[in-house]
Structure 1
Amino acid sequence: MNGDRPLLVATGVRKIYRTGSVAVTALDDLDLVVRHGELVAVMGPSGSGKTTLLNCLSGLDDIDGGRVEIDGHDLFAMSDAARTEHRARTMGFIFQSFNLIPVFSAAENVELPLLLVGVRPREARRRALTALERVGLAPRVEHRPSELSGGEQQRVTIARALVGRPAIVWADEPTGNLDSAMAGQVMDLLCDLNRDEGQTIVLVTHDSAIGARVPRLIRMRDGRLVDDVRQAVAGRAVDRGIPPS
């Protein structure tokens, strides 16, 4: 089964930010394994390294030491151009701020990543409409972001993240700009995509209610993983402790 195979393997990852003579270690010799089909939340206080972790594991930021493999491919052994192409073809991203293009319709926003990697326009539009239908927005495909609610805009970003059929979706505070009702709806959708379609998702959140809904919860402090919990979600047994790689 895919769920038995590692998708992400991070080993000894270090990230250091330097300002003049001051060096701050944001990630400190961090190890992490995420398997196909997992839904993982990363929590921790401000400054603990949560977003830095997501950015380094996805290759958006460089690392200062260690190794990150996605499906057997060493991200930082690639050239910048190869890593960018690999990210475009194998990863999806959901951001707190939506990052939708205001003058584009929902369908145009979703199809854009496909057009950028050379998918033919007709096929890109077909896949965009399918992705929007998956997230419950089939009646809203021609609406621009200003004509959509916050929850609907985040559903567009989820459709955009999924349209390229990624191996892994990274979500940075995906409910951070939403009220509690809309946040619950977005998490319902992410949980459904993980449970029903086996989509691997790693999300960063500060919301303990969101953390309580995922099968695996990681806590960070000072650039380190301090807890890794498998939770009883929808009948799953609790298994505390950082699992071996």
Structure 2
Amino acid sequence: MDTHQPLLLATGVRKVYRTGSVAVPALLGLDLAVGPGELVGVMGPSGSGKTTLLNCLSGLDDIDGGRVEVDGHDLFAMSDAARTEHRARTMGFVFQAFNLIPVFSAVENVELPLLLVGTRPREARRRAVDMLDRVGLGHRTDHRPSELSGGEQQRVTIARALAGRPAIVWADEPTGNLDSAMAAQVMDLLCELNQDEGQTIVLVTHDSAIGDRVPRLIRMRDGRLVDDVRRPVALSGTTADPPRG
């Protein structure tokens, strides 16, 4: 990937939800470019289109107009099967719901997507163990989700998202099910992965404390981008601006 070219390029993206004869516009000709190594937060009121944006830019949902390129590939010029394969190989996902398989251990949950795209079992296990160690769970690899805290479960989902070495990670309210302390720890981890390893992350959140942590913050309203701000931020806890008051 050319580091001078956007990793994600969306142009004129439109999405309309239809129920019978009723059409509800969700995205209204949206343009967005995200470069390699960016950590981008997306905020906005309920119903502004944040999750729809993430689903359309990742190819989980179809679009009604426009163009979306990820890692140089036009997602909606592909067949459904090709888009699914491209998503599996180049994208990682972290959701509010952990979506872990209850009967699988942490390491089995992380290695499963690797096995599904044809990674050899021994290599899949090695990468899963390495990623769990990277997110601070090297001592919990054999524990099932019910034996882990909420914060630990979300770290497993982050390890799962990253084990395939994706070009981009999509995170939809990744701290929504966590208390403030655990949310801060998960956000610390995402910031470290972005700053230390250059992982590109697009993160949807309603939490202003999380929004304060990202170096680029986009705000949405009524299906449009209304603000796009870049600013220096500290790695842990707060923005780099001096304290107020």
Report the counterpart of residue 75 of structure 1 in structure 2.
75
Report the counterpart of residue 195 of structure 2 in structure 1.
195
Cα deviations by residue, 1:182-237 (Å, 9 ceiling, x for unpaired): 00000000000000000000000000000001000000000000000002213999
> Structure 1 3/188 Cα, relative in aligned 2: closer, same or farther at 3 Å?
farther
- Secondary structure, counterpart of 1:220 in structure 2: strand
Report the counterpart of residue 110 of structure 2 in structure 1.
110
Structure-to-structure mapping, 1:26-175, within 5 angstroms: 26-175=26-175
Report the counterpart of residue 229 of structure 1 in structure 2.
229
May I ask how many residue pairs the two structures share in their alignment? 238
- Secondary structure, counterpart of 2:7 in structure 1: strand
Question: What residue ranges of structure 1 are gaps of 5+ in the alignment?
Answer: 239-245
Cα deviations by residue, 1:77-110 (Å, 9 ceiling, x for unpaired): 0000000000000000001010000000000000
> Structure 1 114/193 Cα, relative in aligned 2: closer, same or farther at 3 Å?
same
2:82 maps to amino acid: A
Q: Quote how far apart the aligned CAs of 1:4 are.
A: 3.5
Q: Quote how far apart the aligned CAs of 1:161 are.
A: 0.2
Cα separation, 1, equivalents of 2:240 and 2:2: 20
Cα separation, 2, equivalents of 1:94 and 1:237: 26
Report the counterpart of residue 207 of structure 1 in structure 2.
207
TM-score by length of 2: 0.95
> Structure 1 139/227 Cα, relative in aligned 2: closer, same or farther at 3 Å?
same
- Secondary structure, counterpart of 1:6 in structure 2: coil
Report the counterpart of residue 179 of structure 2 in structure 1.
179
Residues 14 and 28, structure 1, Cα contact 8 Å, conserved in 2: yes
- Secondary structure, counterpart of 2:27 in structure 1: strand
Task: State the superposition RMSD in angstroms.
Answer: 1.5
Report the counterpart of residue 241 of structure 1 in structure 2.
none
1:30 maps to amino acid: L
> Structure 1 182/62 Cα, relative in aligned 2: closer, same or farther at 3 Å?
same
Q: Quote how far apart the aligned CAs of 1:71 are.
A: 1.4
Residues 12 and 66, structure 1, Cα contact 8 Å, conserved in 2: yes
Question: Percent sequence identity over matched residues?
Answer: 85
1:35 maps to amino acid: G
Question: What residue ranges of structure 2 are gaps of 5+ in the alignment?
Answer: none
Residues 230 and 237, structure 1, Cα contact 8 Å, conserved in 2: no
Q: Quote how far apart the aligned CAs of 1:3 are.
A: 5.0
Cα separation, 2, equivalents of 1:76 and 1:177: 32
| Runs of 4 or more above 6 Å deviation | 235-238
TM-score by length of 1: 0.95
Cα separation, 2, equivalents of 1:191 and 1:5: 22
Cα deviations by residue, 1:133-154 (Å, 9 ceiling, x for unpaired): 1100000000000000000000
Residues 2 and 37, structure 1, Cα contact 8 Å, conserved in 2: no
- Secondary structure, counterpart of 2:176 in structure 1: coil
